[in-house]
Amino acid sequence: MNNFRAAFYTSLLIALISSVAQAQASRTWVSGVGDDVNPCSRTAPCKTFAGAISKTITGGEIDALDPAGYGTLIISKSITIDGTGNLAGILAAGTTGLTINLTDPKDTAKAVRLRGLSINGVRTGTNGINIIAAGFVSVEDCVIDGFIKNGINVAAGGVFVRNTTIRNNGAAGIAVTSGQVGLADVALVFNDIALVGSSSVQSLGNVYIFGNKR
């Protein structure tokens, strides 16, 4: 009897895992009028990035359908988050906008791509983007504004930032404790300090530093 129960529950667990895997899509969608109970499809989008990421396969993509606030997010797998063409906002009052912490050994790419996001700390948020563990992170066409610590905090990986403005942050625009950062067409303005760990930062062209306190 015990063997029968064990076999039954094992089969049930496998079925549940298969169901979850099948429910994940390579591309999901969010909308200001969506709902996180939805499958995050084009016609039935989710409301937040956090709602969509669990329904997106590792290495997949979350796209914003319209201008809205899509919430803060902890990213634990390779993903693309794209708000290009819309005001894809992340309001991070009292917290971090995006935390990137990729530690799954099965996720060999360990790559995150962020495009077209407005990340606002409203002067109470901690860090705009906090990169704890990652292989490669790309930040493109973004605005990161108003955090009490750093616009981008880099503790691991290779980080590429392009066509992005990082401003009005209480500590550094970009702070690097480990890893390497490449900048192209980036503005660091009105932060307490533009760069911390600048020896790990490489300018690839058109880096504008203005109005920082030091």
State the CATH number of the domain containing residue 114: 2.160.20.10
Q: Residue 19: its pLDDT value, please?
A: 45
Span 16-34, average pLDDT: 77
Confidence of residue 10 (pLDDT cuts 50, 70, 90): low
Scanning the structure block, which residue is given the tokens 């990729």? 102
18 assigned to some structural domain: no
Share the mean pLDDT of the chain: 92
Residue 23 lies in a domain: no
The neighbour count for residue 197, using CB atoms within 10 Å, is 16
Whether 18 has a pLDDT exceeding 50, the answer reads no
Domain count for the chain: 1
Q: Can you tell me whether residue 148 is helix, strand or coil? A: coil
| Residue 33 placed within a domain | no
Q: Is residue 177 part of a domain?
A: yes
Is there a domain that residue 191 lies in?
yes
Q: How far apart are the first and last CA of the chain?
A: 73
Within a domain: 1: no
Q: pLDDT tens-digit profile of 131-162? A: 999 999 999 999 999 999 999 999 999 999 99
Q: Residue 104 belongs to what domain range?
A: 58-210
Q: What is the pLDDT of residue 138?
A: 98
Question: What residues are paired with 187 via a beta bridge?
Answer: 165, 208
Q: What is the pLDDT of residue 173?
A: 98
In this structure, is residue 41 part of a structural domain?
no
**This prediction's pTM:** 0.89
d(CA 64, CA 81): 8
Secondary-structure percent of the chain, ordered helix, strand, coil, rounded to 5: 15, 45, 40
Sequence-ordered strand ranges (E) for the chain:
25-30, 56-64, 68-69, 73-75, 79-82, 88-91, 98-101, 111-115, 117-125, 129-133, 136-140, 143-147, 152-154, 158-167, 172-176, 180-189, 193-196, 201-203, 207-210
In a domain? residue 4 = no
